[in-house]
Structure 1
Amino acid sequence: MTHGTFCWNELNTRNAEAAKKFYGETIGWTFDKMDMEGGGAYYICMQGETPVGGIFTMEGPAFDGMPEHWFAYLDVDDVDKRTNKAQAHGATIIRPPFDVPDVGRIAIVKDPSGAVMGWMTPVSRP
């Protein structure tokens, strides 16, 4: 992965089983389950042996009124440093940097135009 490039896409849905059925039958993806901290499951979408995206189930009041959507993540070299810089340039940090074991350090950023995306420093960088 390279700083400044998109590195991950994630389906945010209320019905992971329906999404898995749809993408499995239409695209041919298979799914590896990953338990999330605090409960719940995350599904890694696989094209053969290659992970190509994820499925996250939106649960709880934080997601009330939010439509189901695909969510993109941008690879950044240092998520803490970059979110500080983003904030200094008018961004809102919706969720400050946090660690996801075996994945990386992630923050949710809203740019000055109102667009929201994830910024991630992956655990392993080439």
Structure 2
Amino acid sequence: MKITEPSPGAPCWVELATKDPAAAKAFYHELFGWRAEVVPDEKAMGYTRMYLGDQLVAGLSGLMQPEQPIAWTISFHTPDTDATADEIADAGGELIVPPTDALDWCRFVIARDPTGAVFSTWQPAALHGVDLLNEPGSLGWVELATRDPQAAVAFYRRVFGWSVNAGEMYTQFGLAGRDFGGMMDMSDQFPAEVPPYWMPYFAVADVDLGAERAALLGATVTLPPTDVPDGPRLAVLRDPQGAVFGIHVAYPES
């Protein structure tokens, strides 16, 4: 699906912070076919835009702070970053980076929800966000892992107005009748030291081949290819530097 105008509250950008940008660019090029373009402006500090053909699909940067984790960050669209920042704080979230202009691209915040998961908001300026969703090699789904699902639901409903489709095994988030993400209860499935987190899933044509290819490139397969009841086939991977992401089989837009 080509994106020309992001929907308020929906995922609109995904960005990797990594200790070795050159190695990360090589890995994702081999896995997804992404092409890297370093932003020439010195103020961008080497920030790289990742393209699938001529379609923008992700961003990549080095670590800005010594304590910054190697991880993917998901951004949700907002028409007013400052107002959303106030709503985040009022709803019990924490602003890690207050409203900030990223060159002429966007105005953003980085925040932590009340359960501990980090995310970003994105108010477009010159850059509206990614150009593709749900097509092989592009962002297809986002997932929150948390130990307090009720608090998470209340927070994201208030901040972004998401709909909540709660099943017996899994809760899905959406807008205007279209689900774009879900939530997993970490409960006892994860060690206590693993904090709540948001994780992107990238669509692929073949999950099994994608997981096999990632492993050959040095990634760790943390969840082997699996068929989800009433859902797609998927796998969860950790790239060679430690960033966790998922892949799922691309499905036609309904």
Range class of TM-score, shorter chain: 0.7 to 0.9
Corresponding residue for residue 39 of structure 1:
none
Secondary structure in 1 matching 2:241? coil
Aligned residue type for 1:45: F
Q: 1:103 to 1:91 in 2, by over 3 A?
A: same
How many Å apart are 1:8 and its aligned residue? 0.6
User: Is residue 65 from structure 1 mapped to residue 193 from structure 2 by the alignment?
Assistant: yes
How many Å apart are 1:102 and its aligned residue? 2.3
Structure 2 CA distance, aligned partners of 1:105 and 1:61? 20
How many Å apart are 1:61 and its aligned residue? 4.7
CA-to-aligned-CA distance 1:13-65 (integer Å, 9 cap, x gap): 111101111111221112111222xxxxx211121212132111101153421
Corresponding residue for residue 96 of structure 1:
224
Corresponding residue for residue 155 of structure 2:
22
TM-score (normalizing by structure 2): 0.45
CA-to-aligned-CA distance 1:49-104 (integer Å, 9 cap, x gap): 12132111101153421111111101111010111111111111111111102221
Structure 2 CA distance, aligned partners of 1:61 and 1:91? 22
How many Å apart are 1:3 and its aligned residue? 0.7
Which one of 108, 114, 117 corresponds to residue 242 of structure 2?
Answer: 114
Aligned residues: 120
Structure 1 CA distance, aligned partners of 2:143 and 2:187? 15
Structure 2 CA distance, aligned partners of 1:107 and 1:48? 28
Secondary structure in 1 matching 2:190? helix
Structure 1 CA distance, aligned partners of 2:143 and 2:163? 15
Aligned residue type for 1:2: E
User: Is residue 8 from structure 1 mapped to residue 141 from structure 2 by the alignment?
Assistant: yes
User: Is residue 105 from structure 1 mapped to residue 233 from structure 2 by the alignment?
Assistant: yes
1:16-95 matches, within 5 Å, as 16-36=149-169, 42-95=170-223
Higher strand share: 1
Identity of aligned residues (%): 35
Aligned residue type for 2:180: V
Whose Rg is larger?
2
Structure 2 CA distance, aligned partners of 1:121 and 1:80? 9
How many Å apart are 1:109 and its aligned residue? 0.7
Runs of 5+ in structure 2 lacking a partner?
Answer: 1-133
For the aligned residue pairs, the C-alpha RMSD in angstroms reads 1.5
How many Å apart are 1:125 and its aligned residue? 3.2
Secondary structure in 2 matching 1:35? coil
Runs of 4+ aligned residues of structure 1 deviating over 2 Å after TM superposition are: 61-64
